[in-house]
C-alpha cells in the first residue's frame, strides 16, 4: 500500500493538462493543435468528446474555445508545418503528435524547418514551437505505436528534447517548453501515465529548467542514468541494489538536448561506474551518446566500462511475452549494475 | 478463395457467410479483449460489406492492403481465422507468428499484404504493388482500404497522381465511416466529399452505399475490371458506419447521436442482404441459419486453436529483423 | 514597401522597376556564380511577373514564403538587394548573416519569411502563418509560391484542405514554369492542370497567364482581397516559363525545344509591360530607360556592397543554433 | 601529379552506374525510380536529358526503357512507398532519394514500412528494396542539402546502411544492396563524386559484403575510423601522421548496419587508441556508437579515451569559410590523433 506523502498529488496526465492550461491563461498567443485534442467536431452538444487520445488536453476547449484548441485533420505534415509558420509569425503553438512513430510523415517540417530556420535565417526568426508526443512500449501496441525515438531528434541541432519522468517534471518541463523561444519536443511516456506517483505538484506555474538533469537518488557505488520511464526502472533497481548492499545513484536525465554533461560527469567521477538505461533502440542512441561522453571525458575516473541497457536491435513485438523481454526492466538493470560493480 | 464475380446464388451466399463470419469474429475478439487476452482492437462491425463486395472479384494473387481496422479486410480476402485469432492472442501460430498483432495481420499467400497501424501509410505501398503487377506484366490488381480520416494524408494525393499517370491497377477504397476517432468527417474534409477529389487526378471517383453489399459488388466489379484491363485506378468512397467505439473503450455517443446510429444500424449490411436473399428466394431462413451456425462454430474453433497454441519462444524476439545478418 | 493596389501609372512603373531589377539582379548573380563567388543558384528570369503582380497588393507585414528559386519573390516583396547580394556571397552583412545563402533568403521585417530548399516544404508553413493572422485577429495575408513540380508533394493537398476548412488567408501560388528540373509537367501532373485540384478542396482555383503582369495583378488582387475579407484561400496557377537552366549548369535545350522557348520569350513579361506602358502613354521610352539605368546602378552598388563586406567570423559557426543554451 | 596504377579506373559515378546496369541486365525484376533519373518526360527526342541529378543513372533509359527506368513526380512518400510495395510483390526496386535531407517527407515509408514489415509479418514477407541517397557537405548547398544523417537510419532495426568510400566499394556495395533481400540504404557522398581515385574497378559484377569493414591502411599506433568521405580524410591524415612518425591504421567502416564490431575491436586491441571521423551531426551519431562500443568492449585495451571527430552541433552554414570549418578535415583529424597519441 502506497502512503501518500505529497501535499498535492496529480497524475502525469493532470500535470501536463495543468501546464497547458496555465500557459494558455497567461499568454493568449498559446494555442494547441492536434487530432481529437477536443473531439466532437463542431457539434455543440458533443464538445470535448475525446480530450486527446491520452486525455492530455481534456477540458481545454471549454475554457479556451475552438479558436485556440484546434482539432486537425490527420495531416501531420500539414499541421506541424502550420505550427512552424504560426510560431514564426506571432503565436506560441503546442502541437500534439500523438505517437512519435508518426514522425515519419512530418519529419521534414521538424528537421528541415523547425530545427533549421533560426540558424539559416541568421538568428533573425524564432520558432517558439512545442511538440508533445507519446513514446514507449509496454502497452501491446506493436511495432508502429511503441517507439521512443528521442535519440533521432537529439541528433538534430536546433531542436531541444526533454523527457519528463513524473508529474512534477511533466508540468515543469511542459511550461518551460512552451515559454522557450526555440522548438522543444516533449516526449511523454505512456506507461508513466498509468502510474500513481507520490510527488508534490505545486499549483502555481513553475519551470523545470531545460538542459538540467536531476539526481533522483543519491548514491556512491554506481550511477544509473534514467530517462523518462526508465528513471522509474532505475529507482526500482536502486532499491533492489540497496537491499543487496550497493549504493546506486540515480540520475534522471530529463533533458537530452541540451544535455547536462556536467552532472553526468560529476556523478561518474564520484561513483566511477555507470549504467545508462534507455528505452530507445540501441544503435546511435542517447545511451551510446552518454557512454561515449563518459568514455571520452571521464576515462580516468572509470573503474569499469560504461554499460548500456537498451532494448535489442529489433522492432517492438506484439506478443506479450516477447514485448516484456523487449523493454528494459528492473532485473536487466540490476544485472547490468552488478556486472559493473563486481 | 474462389472468385465470385457474377451475382448468383453462390456469390450471395459467399457474401452472406463472409459478412457473418466477420461480425462473429469481431464480437468474439471484443470478448477476448474484455477478458484481457488482447489489449484492445479496432472493430469493423458495421463495415463488413465494403471489403466483401470488392473481394468477391479478387483472386488469391490479387493484393489487399489495409489499415489499423482490418479484420474484415483479412477475412474477406480469405485469411484463415484460426491464424488470425492466434495472432490477436500473440501466439506463435498466428498469421504473423505473434509479432504483428491486430494492427498488422498479413498473409501473403492469400494476397493480404497487411494491415498497417499508421493512417494512410499503406496507400503508396498499394500503388507500388500495382506497379509491380504492371512491370511484371500480370493482370493482378491491388486494393487499398483507408478511412475518411486517412483522406487527409498527403500521400493519398501523391499516390492517386502516381497511379493515374502510370495507369496502375489500383483501387483506392475509402471506407467513410463518418468518423476519425471522435471527429466527424465533415469537420476535417473540405468540400465534404472524398470521391470528388478524384477528378483533379483524372481518375474516376465513385461514391457508393457501403451498407449495401450488392452496390459494393457492382462498383467493385467495375473498378476491378477496369484495373485488370489496364485502364488504371479508381477511387471509391464507400459510405459506411462503424457500430462500436474507435478502439473499444470509448463510447461513441460522446460524439454522435442515437438517431444517427439507428439510421445506419437500420440499414445494416447483413440485414439488407438477408432480406434480399430471402425475398428473392435464393435461400431460406434455415439455410442462412445454418450458415450462421457454421460461422459460430468456426469462431469457436478459432478460439480453441488460439488458446491451445503456444506463445513464441523467447529467441523469436531476435529473429526476422533481417533475412540475413552479418 | 508601399502597396500598389490600384492600377495607375505609379503601380505600372513600380511593377516595371521591380521586374527589371529582378532580371538584372539575376543576370548579375549568374555572373557572380560564373566567377566562382557563389556555387550555383536557381535563376528566376522569365518569372518576374508572378510575384510582382501579387506583391503589389501586399503590405510589409503580409507574408511571403518561397522556394529554392526565390530571388524574385524576395525582390518583389521589398527585400534589400544589397543584403541579398551579400547573402549570395556568404557575407556577414547578408539578409541571413551569410548562413542561409541563395535558397534560404529571408527578411522578416519585409515579411519575407524565407526561401526554402525543400520542394513543397514551405506550403504548410504558409498555412500556419495564415492561421496566426486569423488567431491574432489581424487582416494579414500569407502567400506561398511553389513550382509545378511541388504540386506533387502531398503536403500541398493537406494544406489546401486545412486552409479551406479553417478559412485561412492564404494564397497558394503555383508558378507553373512547365518543368521540374528536366521533367515536363504534363509527364507528372495527372490531368495536366494544377488549378483544377482546388475544386476538391472547395476553394477557388484560377489559371492565369503568368507572363502578363497585368493579369497577375488582377488575379492577385482578387485573391488578396478575398483573404483579407476572411473568405479563405485561393489556388492560383500562373503559367510561366524559366528562361535559363534549372540550376545554371544545365542546358534546357536538352529537354525542351527552341520553338517552345521562343514562344514564351516572345511573350516576355517585361516586353509586354513595356509595350503596354508606352502604347497607353503612361510613360515614354526615356522614362523606362532611366528606370533601367537606376536598376543597373542599384545592382552595381549591391555587388560593391557585397564584395566589400566581410565574411562571418569563425565564431558565428556556433551562434544562432538556439536562442538560449543550457 | 597522380600516377594511375589502376588497371580499370572509373569515377564514383561510373561505378554506381555500372552496378545498376549490370544488375538490371542480370535480373529483370530490378527497376529504378526517382526524380529526373532519365529526364525529358515522354519526349522521344529528349530522352535521358538529365540522367539523375548526379548523373548516376545516365544512359540507363536507353537500354532498359521507361518501364524499368521511371521518372517520378516530386512525391518521395509516394514513390518510396511504391518501392516498398513493389519490393513486397515481386520486384527489386532501386529508389533514388536525391538528397538524404529529403528523408523527412518519406521517413514513414522507410521507418514504419520498409524497416518493420519483415518483422511485423513474422518473417513471411521480404522487402528487397535499395534506396540510394546523396549525402555530405562541402558544396555550398547550405543546411537543407548537405546533411549526412546515416546515423538516424542506423538507429532503426530492419534497415541496412552502407557508405561506400571509393569507386570500388561503390560498385560492390551497390550490387550487394540490390541483391540483398532486406532493405538497404546506400549513402553516396557527393564530394567523392568529384575525386579521381586510383583504384581498380573490375568489369564483372562483384559484391562487397554488407556488414564488413575494410582496413584501408595498416598501422600500429592509432586506429582512425573513416566513413565514406571521411575515409579519404583519414587516409590523408594518416599520411601526414606517418610523416610525423606515427603509424595510423585506417579502418574504412563501409557498413553501419550491420556493423563490423569485431574488426573495430580487433584494430583497437592492436593500436590501443581510436579516433572516429564522422561527418554526421555529433549527438547520437555513429561516432558515439563506435566510441561506446569500444569503451564497453575494449576498455582494458585502451591507452587513451576514444575520440570522436564530428562537425559541431550546428546546421550546415552556407558561407564558404564557415562551411569549411564545419566539415571534418585532415587537420582536425591529425590534431585529434596527436591528442590521443601524446
Ligand atoms: C499518421 C497517423 N496519425 C494518427 C494516427 C492515430 N489514429 C489511429 S486511427 C485514427 C483515426 C483514423 O480515422 P479513419 O481514417 O477515418 O479510420 P477509422 O478509424 O474510422 O476506420 C487516428 C487518428 C495514426 N495511427 N497514424
Ligand atoms: C523534397 C524535395 N525533393 C526533391 C528536391 C530536388 N529538387 C530541387 S528543385 C526540383 C524541381 C522543382 O520543380 P518545380 O517545383 O517545378 O520548381 P522550379 O524549379 O521549376 O521552379 C527538385 C526535384 C528537393 N529540393 N526537395
Ligand atoms: Mg473513419
Ligand atoms: Mg517548375
Round to whole Å and give the CA distance between B130 and B213.
25
- How confident is residue A3, by pLDDT bands cut at 50, 70 and 90? low
Exposure on the CB side of residue A155, measured as CA atoms within 13 A: 32
Ligand with minimal distance to B152 CA:
1
Q: Residue C217, Cα to own-chain centre: how many angstroms?
A: 14
Phi, psi of A4 (to 5 degrees): -75, 120
* Ligand of minimum distance to the alpha carbon of C239: 4
In this prediction, residue D2 carries a pLDDT of 47
pLDDT tens-digit readout, B283-325: 999 999 999 999 999 999 999 999 999 999 999 999 999 999 9
> How many Cβ pairs closer than 8 A exist between chain A and B?
142
- C250 pLDDT higher than 90: no
| DSSP output for C45-112 | TT-THHHHHHHTT--TTSEEE--SS-HHHHHHTT--HHHHHHHHTT-TTSTTTTSS-TT---BGGGTB
Query: Percentage of chain B surpassing pLDDT 90?
Result: 96
* Sign of CA pseudo-dihedral B94, B100, B104, B110: negative
- What is the spatial distance between Cα B145 and Cα B101, in angstroms, rounded to a whole number? 18
Query: Given this model, what pLDDT does residue B250 score?
Result: 82
Q: Is B99 on the interface with A (CB under 8 A)?
A: yes
Cell of residue D164, nine digits: 561506400
Active site residue D118: no
What integer is the mean pLDDT of A221-239?
Answer: 98
> With a 6 A CB cut-off, is A98 part of the ligand 1 pocket?
yes
Tell me the domain boundaries of chain B. Answer: 9-79+105-295
Return the residue of C nearest to B159 by Cα.
Answer: C154
Ligand nearest to the CA of D35: 2
Class in CATH terms, A214-341: alpha beta
Mean pLDDT of all residues in A309-338: 98
Q: Which set of grid coordinates corresponds to residue B176?
A: 467513410
Q: How far is D33 from chain B (nearest CA, A)?
A: 11
Average pLDDT score over residue span D64-69: 98
Q: Helix, strand or coil for residue A25?
A: helix
Q: In this predicted model, what pLDDT tens digit does every residue of D200-225 receive, in sequence order? A: 999 999 999 999 999 999 999 999 99
Q: Record the cell numbers describing residue D118, joined without a space.
A: 519483415
How does strand A274-277 pair with strand C179-180?
Answer: unpaired
List CB contacts of A71: < 8 A, sequence separation 6 or more: A34, A35, A36, A37, A38, A39, A41, B183, B187, B188
Look at residue C73 and tell me whether its pLDDT is greater than 70: yes
Q: What is the pLDDT at residue B2?
A: 65
- Assess whether pLDDT exceeds 80 at residue C295: yes
Q: What is the mean pLDDT of residues C267-280?
A: 98
Among candidates C305, C310, C312, C307, which has minimal Cα distance to C80?
Answer: C305
Mean pLDDT value of segment B175-193 = 98
Q: Which of D33, D96, D98, D145 to mutate to test the pocket of ligand 2 (most atoms within 8 A of CB)?
A: D98
| C-alpha cell of residue B42 | 479496432
Q: Is D274 on the interface with B (CB under 8 A)?
A: no
Structure confidence by residue, pLDDT tens digits, A32-49: 999 999 999 999 999 999
How do residues C189-233 score in pLDDT, each as one tens digit? 999 999 999 999 999 999 999 999 999 999 999 999 999 999 999
With a cut of 80, say whether residue A5 has pLDDT above it. Answer: no
| pLDDT tens sequence across C14-46 | 999 999 999 999 999 999 999 999 999 999 999
What's the rounded Cα separation, in Å, for the pair D222 and D338? Answer: 9
Q: Show the cell assigned to C145.
A: 509560391
User: According to DSSP H, which parts of B39-94 are helical?
Assistant: 49-55, 71-76, 81-88
Computed on alpha carbons and rounded to an integer, the radius of gyration of chain B in Å comes to 19
Match 516595371 to its residue by C-alpha cell. Answer: C16
State the cell numbers at A341.
560493480
Neighbours of D258 (CB within 10 A): 20
Tell me the pLDDT band of B249, cut-offs 50, 70 and 90: confident
Model confidence at C297, pLDDT cuts 50, 70, 90, reads very high
CATH assignment of A10-202, among 3.40.50.9100, 3.40.50.970, 3.30.390.10, 3.80.10.10: 3.40.50.970
The mean pLDDT of D247-262, rounded to a whole number, is 98
Whether A108 has its CB under 8 Å from any CB of chain C: the answer is yes
* Beta pairing class for A248-252 and A274-277: unpaired
The answer to whether residue B167 neighbours chain C at the CB level (below 8 Å) is no
Q: What is the pLDDT of residue A283?
A: 98
Cβ atoms C182, C21 nearer than 8 A = no
Q: B119, B196, B200, B203: which to substitute to probe chain C, counting the most C Cβ within 10 Å?
A: B200
What does pLDDT average to over chain C? 97
> What is the full DSSP assignment across B143-181?
EEEEETGGGGSHHHHHHHHHHHHTT--EEEEEEE-SEET
Burial class (CB in 10 A: 0-12, 13-18, 19+), D129: buried
Is the CB of residue D216 less than 8 Å from the CB of residue D188? no
Which DSSP helix (H) or strand (E) runs through C207?
Answer: strand C205-209
At D116-147, the pLDDT tens digits run: 999 999 999 999 999 999 999 999 999 999 99
- Would you give the distance in Å from CA A253 to the centre of its chain? 10
Q: Is the CB of residue A318 less than 8 Å from the CB of residue D122?
A: no
- Are the Cβ atoms of A312 and B103 closer than 8 angstroms? no
- Answer whether residue C101 shows pLDDT above 80: yes
In a 3-state reduction of DSSP, which class is residue A18?
helix
Pick from A106, A96, A190, A94: nearest CA to A148: A190
The secondary structure of residue B312, as a DSSP letter, is P
Contact B154, D71 (CB under 8 A): no
Dihedral sign computed on CA atoms, order C250, C255, C257, C261? negative
Which residue ranges does chain A devote to CATH 3.40.50.920?
Answer: 214-341
User: Rounded to 5 degrees, what are φ and ψ at B86?
Assistant: -60, -40
The CA-based angle C37-C41-C46, given to 5 degrees, is 125
CA distance B13 to A246: 70
CB < 8 Å from D in window 124-143 of C: none
Mean per-residue pLDDT of chain D: 97
How many Å apart are CA C213 and CA C219, to the nearest integer?
Answer: 10
Smallest Cα–Cα separation from C107: which of C77, C68, C139, C72? Answer: C77
Task: Residue A157: list chain C partners with CB under 8 A.
Answer: 321
pLDDT 10s digits, C125-149:
999 999 999 999 999 999 999 999 9
Q: What angle do CA B120, B121, B124 make, to 5 degrees?
A: 100
Of A157, A213, A164, whose CA–CA distance to A186 is shortest?
Answer: A164
Q: How far is D276 from chain A (nearest CA, A)?
A: 11
B48 φ/ψ sector (left φ>0, alpha ψ -120 to 50, else beta): alpha
Q: B187 to chain C: nearest residue by CA?
A: C165
- DSSP secondary structure, A307-328, as one string: EEE---SSPPPSSHHHHHHHS-
Contact B129, B142 (CB under 8 A): yes
State the CB neighbour count (10 A cutoff) for residue C59: 18
Strands A255-257 and A160-162: antiparallel
Whole-angstrom distance, CA of residue D106 vs CA of residue D75: 9
Instruction: Give the model confidence (pLDDT) of B120-173 as tens digits.
Output: 999 999 999 999 999 999 999 999 999 999 999 999 999 999 999 999 999 999
C1 pLDDT more than 80: no
- CA A40/CA B185 separation, integer angstroms: 10
Q: Which residue has the cell 467536431?
A: A41
**What's the rounded mean pLDDT across residues D35-43?**
97
Strands D222-226 and D248-252: parallel
The residues of chain D that CATH labels 3.40.50.970 are 10-202
Strands (E), chain B: 63-65, 142-147, 170-176, 179-180, 183-184, 205-209, 234-239
B6 touches chain D (CB under 8 A): no
- Bridge partner residues of D97 (DSSP): D133
Residue A152 has pLDDT above 70, yes or no: yes
Q: 3-class DSSP state for residue D298?
A: coil
* 3-class secondary structure, A119: helix
pLDDT, mean over chain A:
97
Is C235 buried (19+), middle (13-18) or exposed (0-12) by CB count in 10 A? Answer: buried
H/E stretch holding B217: helix B213-229
A76 catalytic? Reply is yes
Grid cell locating D227: 566513413
| β-pair type (A30-34, A92-99) | parallel
| A68 phi, psi to nearest 5 deg | -105, -20
Which atom of ligand 2 lies at the shortest distance from residue D144's CA?
Answer: 25
- C-alpha cell of residue A183: 522548438
According to DSSP, the residues that pair with A119 across neighbouring strands are: none
Q: pLDDT band at residue C2, thresholds of 50, 70 and 90?
A: low
- pLDDT-derived band at D176, boundaries 50, 70, 90: very high
For the segment A60-104, what is each residue's pLDDT rounded down to a tens digit? 999 999 999 999 999 999 999 999 999 999 999 999 999 999 999
- What the block records as the C-alpha cell of B158 is 501523391
Section D271-282 average pLDDT: 98
Site from D41, D105, D145 to mutate, C interface, most C CB atoms within 10 angstroms: D41
The pLDDT value recorded for residue A4 is 56
- CATH of region B9-79+105-295: 3.40.50.970
- Chain Cα centroid distance, residue C267: 19
- Is pTM beyond 0.80 here? yes
Q: Which of D18, D23, D35, D76 is catalytic?
A: D76
| All chains having 3 or more CB pairs closer than 8 angstroms to chain A | B, C, D
Structure confidence at residue B241 as a pLDDT band (50, 70, 90): very high
ipTM (interface predicted TM):
0.98
What does the pLDDT average to over D42-53?
Answer: 94
Q: What are the tens digits of pLDDT across the range A17-28?
A: 999 999 999 999
Cα–Cα distance measured from residue D84 to residue D123, given in angstroms and rounded to the nearest whole number = 15
Q: Which of A153, D315, A87 is nearest to C100 (CA)?
A: D315
Q: Which three cell numbers stand for residue B167?
A: 495507369
What count of other Cβ atoms lies within 10 Å of the Cβ of residue A200?
A: 13
CA atoms of D203 and B149, how far apart (whole Å) = 52
Amino acid at each position: 500500500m502506497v502512503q501518500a506523502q505529497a501535499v498535492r498529488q496529480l497524475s502525469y496526465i493532470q500535470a501536463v493538462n495543468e501546464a497547458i492550461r496555465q500557459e494558455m491563461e497567461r499568454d493568449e498567443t498559446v494555442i494547441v493543435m492536434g487530432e481529437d485534442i477536443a473531439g466532437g467536431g463542431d457539434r455543440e452538444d458533443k464538445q470535448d468528446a475525446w480530450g486527446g487520445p491520452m486525455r492530455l488536453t481534456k477540458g481545454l476547449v471549454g475554457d479556451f474555445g475552438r479558436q485556440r484548441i484546434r482539432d486537425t485533420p490527420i495531416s501531420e505534415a500539414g499541421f506541424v508545418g502550420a505550427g512552424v509558420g504560426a510560431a514564426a509569425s506571432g503565436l506560441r503553438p503546442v502541437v500534439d503528435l500523438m505517437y512519435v512513430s508518426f514522425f515519419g510523415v512530418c519529419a521534414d517540417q521538424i528537421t528541415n524547418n523547425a530545427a533549421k530556420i533560426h540558424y539559416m535565417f541568421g538568428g533573425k526568426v524564432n520558432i517558439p514551437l512545442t511538440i508533445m508526443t507519446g513514446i514507449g512500449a509496454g502497452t501491446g501496441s506493436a511495432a508502429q505505436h511503441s517507439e521512443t525515438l528521442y535519440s533521432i531528434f537529439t541528433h538534430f541541432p536546433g531542436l531541444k528534447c526533454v523527457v519528463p519522468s513524473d508529474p512534477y517534471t511533466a508540468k515543469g518541463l511542459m511550461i518551460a517548453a512552451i515559454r522557450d523561444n526555440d522548438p522543444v519536443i516533449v516526449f511523454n511516456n505512456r506507461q508513466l501515465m498509468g502510474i500513481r506517483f507520490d510527488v508534490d505538484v505545486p499549483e502555481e506555474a513553475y519551470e523545470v529548467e531545460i538542459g538540467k538533469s536531476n539526481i533522483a537518488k543519491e548514491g556512491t557505488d554506481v550511477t544509473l542514468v534514467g530517462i523518462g520511464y526508465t528513471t522509474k526502472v532505475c529507482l526500482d533497481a536502486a532499491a533492489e541494489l540497496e537491499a543487496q548492499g550497493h549504493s546506486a545513484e540515480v540520475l534522471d536525465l530529463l533533458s537530452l538536448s541540451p544535455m547536462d554533461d556536467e552532472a553526468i560527469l560529476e556523478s561518474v567521477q564520484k561513483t566511477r561506474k555507470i549504467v545508462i538505461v534507455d528505452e530507445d533502440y540501441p544503435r546511435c542512441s542517447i545511451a551510446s551518446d552518454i557512454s561515449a561522453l563518459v568514455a571520452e571525458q571521464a576515462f580516468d575516473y572509470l573503474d569499469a566500462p560504461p554499460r548500456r541497457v537498451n532494448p535489442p536491435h529489433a522492432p517492438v513485438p506484439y506478443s506479450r511475452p516477447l514485448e516484456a523481454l523487449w523493454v528494459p526492466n528492473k532485473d536487466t538493470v540490476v544485472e547490468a549494475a552488478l556486472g559493473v560493480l563486481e | 478463395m474462389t472468385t465470385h464475380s457474377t451475382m448468383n446464388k453462390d456469390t450471395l451466399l459467399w457474401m452472406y457467410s463472409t459478412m457473418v463470419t466477420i461480425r462473429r469474429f469481431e464480437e468474439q475478439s471484443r470478448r477476448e479483449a474484455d477478458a484481457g487476452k488482447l489489449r484492445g482492437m479496432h472493430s469493423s462491425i458495421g463495415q463488413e460489406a465494403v471489403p466483401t463486395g470488392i473481394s468477391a472479384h479478387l483472386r488469391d494473387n490479387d493484393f489487399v492492403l489495409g489499415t489499423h481496422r482490418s479484420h474484415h479486410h483479412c477475412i474477406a480476402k480469405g485469411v484463415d481465422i484460426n491464424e488470425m485469432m492466434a495472432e490477436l492472442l500473440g501466439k506463435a501460430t498466428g498469421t504473423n507468428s505473434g509479432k504483428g498483432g491486430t494492427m498488422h495481420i498479413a498473409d501473403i499467400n492469400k494476397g493480404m499484404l497487411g494491415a498497417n497501424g499508421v493512417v494512410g501509410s499503406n496507400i503508396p505501398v498499394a500503388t507500388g504493388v500495382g506497379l509491380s503487377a504492371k512491370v511484371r506484366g500480370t493482370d493482378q490488381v491491388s486494393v487499398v482500404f483507408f478511412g475518411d480520416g486517412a483522406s487527409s494524408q498527403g500521400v493519398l494525393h501523391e499516390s492517386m497522381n502516381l497511379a493515374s499517370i502510370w495507369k496502375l491497377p489500383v483501387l483506392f477504397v475509402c471506407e467513410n465511416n463518418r468518423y476519425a476517432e471522435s471527429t466527424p468527417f465533415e469537420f476535417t474534409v473540405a468540400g465534404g466529399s472524398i470521391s470528388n477529389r478524384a477528378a483533379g487526378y483524372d481518375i474516376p471517383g465513385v461514391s457508393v452505399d457501403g451498407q449495401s453489399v450488392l452496390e459494393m459488388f457492382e462498383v467493385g466489379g467495375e473498378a476491378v475490371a477496369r484495373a485488370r484491363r489496364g485502364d488504371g485506378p479508381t477511387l471509391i468512397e464507400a459510405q459506411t458506419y462503424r457500430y462500436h467505439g474507435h478502439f473499444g473503450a470509448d463510447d461513441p455517443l460522446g460524439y454522435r447521436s442515437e438517431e444517427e446510429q439507428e439510421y445506419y444500424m437500420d440499414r445494416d449490411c447483413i440485414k439488407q442482404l438477408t432480406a434480399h436473399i430471402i425475398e428473392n428466394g435464393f435461400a431460406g431462413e434455415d439455410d442462412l441459419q445454418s450458415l450462421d451456425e457454421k460461422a459460430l462454430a468456426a469462431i469457436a474453433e478459432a478460439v480453441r486453436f488460439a488458446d491451445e497454441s503456444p506463445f513464441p519462444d523467447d529467441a523469436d524476439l531476435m529473429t526476422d529483423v533481417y533475412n540475413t545478418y552479418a
